[in-house]
Amino acid sequence: MVDKLRVYCHPGSAPAYGGQRVFYSRRASGPYYLWRFEEELGRWHGSRVHLLLPTLRALSVANWKIVPPSLQEKLDEHYLP
């Protein structure tokens, strides 16, 4: 796991981006990224987002065990030291 990385999700639901769960990430005080799985390409895609306060309040820190292994690998690549 990457140092000072936090992964967030919407608790108790599977927010839809084409019916797929989405995750958010942030390292230290850096920008937030939205991660969604692209079915047709078979990979995770991340995009930088500006989260408004209501969205931030709705998120909770995700347990690393619920983060799909393929996303864990993508996060490791994205947040190279």
| Measured distance CA(71)–CA(69) in Å, rounded | 5
Residue 62 gets which letter from DSSP? P
Q: Count of domains in the chain?
A: 1
List of residues 6+ apart from 29 with CB closer than 8 A: none
Q: What is the pTM of this model?
A: 0.84
Query: Is residue 12 pLDDT above 90, yes or no?
Result: no
Residue 48: give the domain boundaries: 5-78
The pLDDT assigned to 11 comes to 78
Structural contact between residues 25 and 8, judged by C-beta atoms closer than 8 angstroms: yes
Q: 16: phi > 0 → left, psi -120 to 50 → alpha, else beta; which?
A: beta
The pLDDT assigned to 80 comes to 85
What six digits make up the tokens of 37? 């799985």
